[in-house]
A and B are shown apart, each in its own frame.
Chain A
Amino acid sequence: MIELSNVVKEYTVIKKKSGLSGSIKSLFKPEKTIVRGVDGISFRIEKGEMVGYLGPNGAGKSTTIKMLTGILHPTSGTVRIGGISPQENRKSVVKQLGVVFGQRTQLYWDLRLGESFELLKRIYRIDEETYQSNLEMMYEVLGIDQLINTPVRQLSLGQRMKGDLAAAMLHSPSILFLDEPTIGLDVEAKQNIRSFIREMNAKRGTTIILTTHDLDDVEQLCKRLIVINHGKVVEDGPLSELILRMAPYRLLVLDLSEMPDPQTLHHHGAELIKQEGLKLTYRFHKSDISASELISGLSAKLSVVDLGVKEPDIEDMIREMYRSSSTA
């Protein structure tokens, strides 16, 4: 469905020197440096998948999306969507794509939201029936029927984002690219947008590729993750598997009633990673020992008054992935 192989994108950046003589110099002899935004990326995404495309700032996520949508031409390598190159056949490929760039709108600033939709209806040649039923669905899922007569420039960020999502889905695309669709939104709006995304994927089988820095997005939406750093893929696999591999441990936090004897603190199945007065934190692997086994083992030796188990955290996992790929 979506296929990238060995895709490289280089940006030529012209260095501006400071000062008057510097700017005159760079006018005649510009100093060019080459930045690799994407450095040899390959992956495949099948129809109906919901994939999180993650990576730290500047990793190359947006650059990849721009190549997948035909906006940018790769320096080398091939991009295929349904077997067709979005660069060579831009118009026919983009018809089946929906794209939302969280940072900018594709709605028309001078028009009302409804007029923007009308325009898109003509751009994508959506027939009246499909248009009406899609619009109805957007009203229902996103609750934007109140906003239809508001000029786009008067919409709040969250309202605009909903408008953008609706605009991206009006022509029933088979693939939806979302580049940070929840950026800057409140909790409620984020939830709305997430359920919208889930619904599109479940009901319509829309393939969804999502970039985000919001870990709740990842946890609630993505079954598969592709993680990139410095323009290279560093991880690619099902979310659950990645968590197990990258952050397989759980934490056990104990509150004690009296200072423990240091000798009794040890347990063969877990590692004591923190001790602050009467508060102990153990780290243990799911596969080594169960929580109840560890708790009963420790409470036999220690005077435990309270305890809590912390599940492997997606945040820890992501941090670990970014960290290990940066030092590599």
Chain B
Amino acid sequence: MSAYYYFFKMRILTTLAYRFEVFTAVASNAVMLLATVFLWKAAYRGIGSVQEVSQHQMIVYAILSVVMGAVLSVNVQDDMYYRVREGHIATDFIKPVQLLGMFLAEDLGTTVSALVNRAVPLILLASILFTPPLPVSLTAFLLFVPSLMLSFLLLWLMGAIVGMISFWVLELGNLGIVKDAIVRILSGSLIPIWFFPDWMGTVSAYLPFQYMYQTPLSIYIGKITHSQAGTALAIQAAWIAVLAFIAYAVWQRAKRVTLIQGG
């Protein structure tokens, strides 16, 4: 059993052990869930559909977006920043492991345990209060799953790249917040891009962000056809290749400039 698998496994065990943290996280996600669903209900009042998306589809989109946000755990950015800032990165570098692999294994562990302890309660809650967030078809669901995995990788690589910047600038705090805000808006996690003006849709098609949330969610609710979904998956994969390359290049440099804080 490799070290990365052990990181993954232990992360699942430790996150499952922190019950209170789970409780507060689910509670805050539940608030988000209520707020967005009520907002969409109000927005759709008296309107049948917008851009061929019905109110029901939109509500499923909103519910699933909150669930995705709660499940896909990307802590690499904050972890890296924290470890550089506190000087713990020194003890990571003295071990013969790939640091990024370790962070990825841990985030995967958190994500897997979040499927159990966050997704399940949120989906149950949504089903009771609103509607069970079911996919439009089985095929859609089967396309959604790989797309979701690619979304995770995209989000993760983005977080890793921003986190690595802490090797140069320790005042990362604001940069991380800016990035998170951009992802929130441009990924379609709050409001799908099709509600924005056309030019934004055009620009956004050439940026990686909408492939992080909107793509899997659109597949799930049937906003895009199966063949369009195939293309979307390919674009996701291409962005992963680009970001992975950037991450690798930045990482090679970051290692050289390591500054270790403290004696």
Contact = CB atoms under 8 A, between A and B. Distances in A.
Given A111-B14, A122-B2, A122-B3, A104 B90 contact: yes
B88 A104 contact: yes
Interface stretch (A91-99, A258-266, A282-290, A305-313): A91-99
A41 B7 CA distance: 38
Interface stretch (A69-77, A131-139, A195-203): A69-77
A101 B96 CA distance: 17
Contact of B6 (A103, A122, A179): A122
B95 interface: yes
B159 to A, nearest CB: 20
B14 A70 contact: no
Contacts of B262: 103-104
Given A90-B93, A115-B10, A103 B263 contact: yes
A118 B256 contact: no
B1 interface: yes
B91 A105 contact: yes
A192 interface: no
Interface string B66-108: 0000000000000000000001111101111100000000000
Interface in A82-117: 90-92, 94-95, 97, 99, 101, 103-106, 108, 110-111, 115
Interface in B1-31: 1-3, 5-7, 10, 14
A66 interface: yes
A70 B10 contact: no
A62 interface: yes
Band of interface residues on A: 20 to 34
A104 B85 CA distance: 13
Interface residues of B, number: 25
Contacts of A66: 90, 260
A43 interface: no
A103 B2 CA distance: 29
A15 to B, nearest CB: 14
Given A72-B258, A122-B3, A122-B6, A94 B94 contact: yes
A189 to B, nearest CB: 20
Given A110-B14, A111-B10, A70 B96 contact: no
Given A72-B260, A104-B87, A122-B2, A94 B95 contact: yes
A73 B263 CA distance: 16
B3 A99 contact: no
Contacts of A69: 93-94
Interface in A44-73: 62, 66, 69-73
Contacts of B88: 104
Nearest to B95: A123
A76 B90 CA distance: 20
Contact of A101 (B90, B95, B259): B90
A101 B91 contact: yes
Contacts of A111: 10, 14
A180 B262 CA distance: 13
Contacts of A94: 93-96
Given A101-B91, A122-B1, A123-B3, A71 B97 contact: no
A119 interface: yes
Contacts of B263: 62, 103, 179-180
Interface in B159-202: none
Contact of A97 (B2, B94, B258): B94
Given A66-B90, A71-B260, A101-B90, A123 B14 contact: no
A128 B6 CA distance: 16
Contacts of A101: 90-91
Contact of B93 (A70, A103, A123, A124): A70
Contact of B256 (A73, A110, A115): A73
Contact of A71 (B5, B7, B96, B258): B258
Q: Which of B88, B94, B97 has the most CB of A within 10 A?
A: B94
Contacts of A122: 1-3, 5-6
Given A101-B90, A104-B88, A104-B90, A123 B96 contact: yes
Nearest to A107: B91
A91 B96 contact: yes
A72 to B, nearest CB: 6
Interface string B34-71: 00000000000000000000000000000000000000
Contacts of A110: 10, 14
Given A111-B10, A122-B3, A122-B6, A71 B256 contact: no
Nearest to A115: B10
B47 to A, nearest CB: 47
A123 B94 contact: no
A123 B93 CA distance: 12
Interface of B: 1-3, 5-7, 10, 14, 87-91, 93-97, 256-260, 262-263
15 contacts: A62-B263, A92-B96, A94-B95, A94-B96, A97-B94, A101-B91, A103-B263, A108-B10, A110-B10, A111-B10, A120-B95, A122-B3, A122-B5, A123-B95, A180-B263
Given A70-B94, A108-B10, A122-B3, 9 more contacts: A66-B260, A69-B93, A73-B256, A91-B96, A94-B93, A104-B87, A110-B10, A119-B7, A123-B97
Interface of A: 11, 62, 66, 69-73, 90-92, 94-95, 97, 99, 101, 103-106, 108, 110-111, 115, 118-120, 122-124, 179-180
